[in-house]
Chains A and B, each alone.
Chain A
Amino acid sequence: MSDFLRSYLTVGIFGLIGVALVGVFLGLGKILRPNKPTLAKTEAYESGVEPTGDMWSQANIRYYVFALLFVMFDVEAVFIFPWATRLEAYGTFGLIEMAIFIFILLLGLLYAWRKGVLKWA
């Protein structure tokens, strides 16, 4: 138990350093930079074109299919991840089992493709 947690201490330290770096640099920038806001400066930059409309607009419903596809293959990744840690031990057996697993899920992607939901028309 303890060795397990000690190995994760490294992860924790890395995480803390990451958060601290962002905090230090953003804080340092806030201290060092001059703050003279004008109307033009506070406007959102959009490729040099003047922004129009509200900051929020309703997204196209088409995006939702991609979100759903992502969720499915994310769950697939959950199963691939432990397999990848032991791939060498399983050898050909593991490769075939995972190939079957991925093949069955690829049928779903094939279905999505055939139904034209991946097409941006």
Chain B
Amino acid sequence: MQLLAQVSSETDLYVAQNIFFAVIAGTMIYAAFRVVTTANVVHAALWLVVVLAGVAVQFLFLGAEFVAVTQVLVYIGAVIVLFLFGVMLTRASMGDDETVAGEKRAMAAIVGVLLFAVMAVALVDSFEDTRVDIDGPQGVVEVSDAIFSQYIVPFEAVSVLLLAALIGAIVVARKD
């Protein structure tokens, strides 16, 4: 009886999980659509935040906690900041841009559909109906233990890579 209750509660969770997945996926599709249809480039960047936050939640559903945190920190935190700075630094109007229309829009739609087709075919072709087994959630603790035991040297090497990127960015940005 207890086992049965446990099984049914597990199934309930999977149902809830699927519902949440659908809701978040729908929100992401809507937000992604708004990113490319809104005429205001700042609004596009803010809609992109919604898409990226949705990606973070989907990572959580896959049990990839560290990837979800990285998604929030790096993409929502840093990449969007770079986007907004890029917009602020350009001379173009921050308001609605009505010039994005007509043939450009058609070309963009064609490129988008082609890109989607290529990626969809590649994914379906390489995985088909293989079931990817996830043995439990990969929490931050597991990732941390891996970094600070097996991958300690790559971890320190990353700091050198980041240092090189930092100095490179300063050298490029100083030429103003």
Contacts and interface: CB of A to CB of B under 8 A. Distances in A.
Nearest to B68: A8
B140 A82 contact: yes
Given A1-B63, A97-B155, A108-B162, A75 B74 contact: yes
B124 interface: no
Interface string B162-176: 110111011001101
Interface string A85-121: 1100110011001001110110111011001010000
Interface in B49-88: 60-61, 63, 65-66, 69-70, 73-74, 77-78, 81-82, 85, 88
Chain B contact residues: helix, strand, loop or mixed: helix
A24 interface: no
A71 interface: yes
A12 B143 CA distance: 23
B62 to A, nearest CB: 10
B144 A83 contact: yes
Contacts of B167: 108, 111
B173 A101 contact: no
Interface stretch (B99-107, B114-122, B145-153): B145-153
Contacts of B95: 55-56
Interface of A: 1-2, 4-6, 8, 12, 55-56, 58-59, 61-65, 67-72, 74-79, 81-83, 85-86, 89-90, 93-94, 97, 100-102, 104-105, 107-109, 111-112, 115, 117
Contact of A101 (B66, B88, B94, B156): B156
Given A1-B134, A58-B91, A77-B73, A117 B85 contact: no
Contact of A82 (B91, B94, B144, B156): B144
B170 A115 contact: yes
B1 interface: no
Contacts of B162: 72, 75-76, 104-105, 108
Given A1-B134, A97-B156, A86 B173 contact: no
Interface residues of B, number: 52
B20 to A, nearest CB: 8
B2 interface: no
Nearest to A101: B159
Contact of A5 (B13, B73, B74): B13
B137 interface: yes
CB-based closest 4 A-B pairs: A82-B144, A108-B166, A4-B137, A56-B94
B111 interface: no
A83 B148 contact: yes
Contact of A105 (B17, B63, B78, B159): B159
B26 to A, nearest CB: 16
A85 B144 contact: yes
Contacts of A78: 69-70, 73-74
